[in-house]
Amino acid sequence: MMTKVLLTFVATIVLYYTYKLLFGKCNRFEICRMTLLTMSVFAFVFPFISIEISKPLPEYFLTLDDIEILNNNNVNVETESVKNNSLSFLQIISLVYIIGVVISFVKIIFNIYKIHKIKIGKKLEIIDGFKVIYTSENHIPFSFFNNIFIPDNTNPLILKHEMSHVRHRHSLDIILMEIMISFQWFNPFIYKMKKELQGLHEYIADNETIENETDKSNYMMLLLQQCTADDYNAIANNFSFLLTKKRIIMITQKQKSKKMVIRMLLTLPVFALLILLNTQCENVKVNDKQTVNADNVINEVKHSNPTSVQNADVEVGNLSGCIYDTDTKKPLSGANVILSKNEEESYNTTSDNNGRYEFKSIPAGAYDLKAFYEGYKTITIKSIVIPAGKFAFQDLSLINGNVHKRENPSSKKYVEVSKDSIYTVTEEMPQFPGGPNELMKYLGENIKYPQSAIDNKIEGRVYVSFVIEKDGSVTNAEVMRGIDKDCDAEALRAVSSMPKWSPGLNEDGDPVRCKFTVPVVFKLNNKE
């Protein structure tokens, strides 16, 4: 919550100075009013606006799906905070903020009550559809929605001025600003925005009042007579509350439309930059409660298909089958399976403990199916058809021995490939020592939940890409999509420190460079 409040604070500052720079001396008051209102509302709501921008991940994910990391420090954070019987600094700040919001709303209600109280027992007259309440009190004339409060024997120009406020619904603007002020009561720039808006209200009413007047001097003298009076109510449109000198200057100026379009266009980059400020690669999930258990470090393989298609407009089908040893007929658990149509469209999964694999909700069509397993020869089946709305089945038999036949160079069309080329799919994929389960065990034991992330209740998924070199070493590790600098750094450290793999092999059995992406999930244990 406090993050959004802070973002609103920053946006208000930026937009206030943007308005002053571009529209501070502009006398197209209605346009300025709409612009200022738009900026104020945008500053209030923009923390809730985000565009998910992410780097494109490599085509081939290490088919562990998720490596789930729970905190493994021997503390119970929630219990300790209770024992200490004290509030954190962030909790104190949040409490003070909420109290300020409540007080601000109470002030709004109280001011509305004061206005309502004035109406009791006062003379009421309907003039041109406006409710005019004559007061015997010596206060500044003001308006609130359709009600105009004026003392007896008030100058007709003042009445006309207040009618203009009502006609343009200026009270609605003020109420809206007061609500936003309630949520930003500590922000001096939102008060500055309100002051600017009230000034625009006066300029609009002044110009409309004297629009058909040949002699403006009487109205200007009227402003001077009222300039020493105090404001009556913060949420009302008072006849004279500020900027008397500037109002007189604005009355004598002609409205100009020069460069208004340019001014409006120049505000767009500011809005865009603020939205980008609030944009993140992946949403950070924050839990309200946190209990950390020392003994729970969970590293598990989830046999799901992360790339299944959810678009209802696309005709989809399903493919499943079993992978087993050709000689022993035993199912092979953890075999890698890739279903590909072209370079841009591919799906992958692994076989479960029963050797079964499954692709759900795949767009119908013809695909190539490839399966590989450590110590076995890779198998590829061309043009498997997945029918729309139906299930297709294809069992795969792998031969033990991983024997690679070399083609006759004279009969093979070679493609010139750089020695430093990085592959996403190879004939034989790299293998971590001991296989996928050992990889998950290694990362689970070596990745520690950062204490700062625990304290701030941050959890989420970090995607780390890396390259397996020809000698099996891990290089070029980088965070493709992160959640927090400390979590990102910890996942990157653990991946970079992995031992050597068995390198990937091409069709000729030569080692090649291969790129992987592994998702690491940082998850707080909320079980009490």
Q: Sorting pLDDT into bands at 50, 70 and 90, what band is 280? A: low
Instruction: Indicate if 509 and 472 belong to the same structural domain.
Output: yes
Q: How many domains does the chain have?
A: 3
Residue 306 lies in a domain: no
Greatest alpha-carbon span in the chain: 110
Are residues 239 and 322 both part of a single domain?
no
Coil, strand, or helix at residue 292? coil
Amino acid at 193: M
The answer to whether residue 141 sits within a structural domain is no
At 523, list the tokens.
């998850």
Contact in structure between 198 and 174 (CB atoms under 8 Å): yes
Query: Which one has a higher pLDDT value, 66 or 210?
Result: 210
Residues 472-525 have pLDDT tens digits of 999 989 988 888 899 999 999 999 999 999 998 887 888 988 888 888 888 887
Q: How many CB atoms lie within 10 A of CB 187?
A: 20
What CATH number is given to the structural domain containing 495?
3.30.2420.10
Residues 241 and 161 in one domain: yes
Which residues, including other chains, have CB under 8 Å from residue 31's CB and lie 6 or more apart?
Answer: 260, 264
Task: Categorize the per-residue pLDDT at 305 as very low, low, confident or very high, splitting at 50, 70 and 90.
Answer: very low
**225 assigned to some structural domain:** yes
Q: Is residue 301 one of the residues assigned to a domain? A: no
Residue 142 lies in a domain: no
Rounded to whole angstroms, what are the CA distances from 154 to 130, 133, 201, 211, 237?
A: 16, 12, 20, 20, 16
Contacts of 261 (CB under 8 A, 6+ apart): none
Q: How high is the pLDDT of residue 407?
A: 40
Give residue 226's pLDDT band: very low, low, confident or very high (50, 70, 90): low
* Residue 191 clears pLDDT 90, i.e. is over it: yes
Q: Is 396 in the same domain as 434?
A: no
**Are residues 435 and 479 located together in one domain of the fold?**
yes
Q: Which domain holds residue 171?
A: 2-54+88-123+152-277
pLDDT in tens, 115-169: 888 888 888 899 988 999 988 766 778 899 899 998 887 788 888 888 999 999 9
Does the pLDDT value for residue 368 go beyond 50? Answer: yes
**What is the radius of gyration, based on Cα positions, of the chain?**
35
At 184 the pLDDT is 93
Q: 369-390 burial, b for 16+ CB within 10 Å, e for fewer?
A: bbbbbbebbbbeeeeeebeeee
The alpha carbon dihedral of 224, 229, 230, 231 has a sign of negative
Residue 293 falls inside a structural domain: no
Q: Are residues 329 and 255 in the same domain?
A: no
Domain boundary among 277, 301, 333: 277
Domain boundary, last residue among 261, 277, 293: 277
Instruction: Find residue 346's DSSP bridge partners.
Output: 340
Q: Which among 269-273, 291-295, 389-393 has the top mean pLDDT? A: 269-273
Clarify whether residues 241 and 386 are in a common domain: no
**Residue 130 is assigned to a structural domain of this protein:** no
- CB–CB of 303/350 below 8 Å? yes
Domain harbouring 380, CATH code: 2.60.40.1120
At which of 346, 375, 403 does a domain end?
Answer: 403
Q: Is the pLDDT of residue 405 over 50?
A: no
Phi/psi at 182 (nearest 5 deg)?
A: -60, -35
Q: Is residue 473 part of a domain?
A: yes
Assess whether 46 and 6 both reside in one domain.
yes
Specify the range with the lowest mean pLDDT, choosing from 285-294, 311-320, 338-347, 378-387. 285-294
Strand arrangement of the beta sheet that strand 237-238 belongs to: 123-127, 130-135, 147-151, 142-144, 237-238
Q: Are residues 229 and 355 in the same domain?
A: no
Query: Residue 247 class from Cβ within 10 Å (0-12 exposed, 13-18 middle, 19+ buried)?
Result: buried
Do 265 and 200 fall within a single domain?
yes
Distance CA 61, CA 310 (A): 19
What are the DSSP calls for 299-311, one per residue?
-------TT----
Residue 341, both tokens: 């149509």
Are residues 437 and 396 part of one domain?
no
CA distance 39 to 492: 40
- 436 and 392 housed in the same domain: no
| pLDDT digits 0-9 by tens, 58-68 | 444 444 445 56
